[in-house]
Amino acid sequence: MVRVSRMTSSLMRRAIDLSIDSVKRGIGGPFAALVARQGEVIAVGVNQVATSNDPTAHAEVVAIRDACKQLNSFQLIGCEMYTTCEPCPMCLGAIYWARLDRIYFGNTRDDAARIGFDDAFIYDQMAVPILQRSIPMEPLMREQALEAFREWELATVKIRY
């Protein structure tokens, strides 16, 4: 069994409490996340998909967006996330792009599926060849689109990420 510090447990407890409060207040699904650095909470997020009409407003994404604003950076190196559920594919992608150091999570994706939040279809679709996915995806104007990539390669002033 992995031993965790009191601080780590306390931060996860805070995320869990936020998720319970969100459900009780009817403002989102049972998901919450927080971003911390050296034990200090930088940002919190609760699921806001239904209240904001934004399918990307998952707790983890909300917390990442706020943490980046608070730190004035698009990278969260040196930070950890405490989230009440194993991140979905979208949130996992955002976590990797934000370069968080570590993720602590409570519930598993199987736990989420049991209460109606099943992301298995998305995980499965990622492995399907592009032209066979359930939402049609068609390559279009690649040569023209490559112009922006060529400009990026030639640019002498750019922010790498």
Q: Which residues are catalytic?
A: 60
Beta-strand pair 32-37/80-85: antiparallel
Q: Which two tokens stand for residue 66?
A: 């706020």
Q: Helices (H) and strands (E) in the chain — how many of each?
A: 7, 4
* Buried/exposed 116-141: b ≥16 CB within 10 Å, e otherwise: ebebeeeeeeeeeeeeeeeeeeeeee
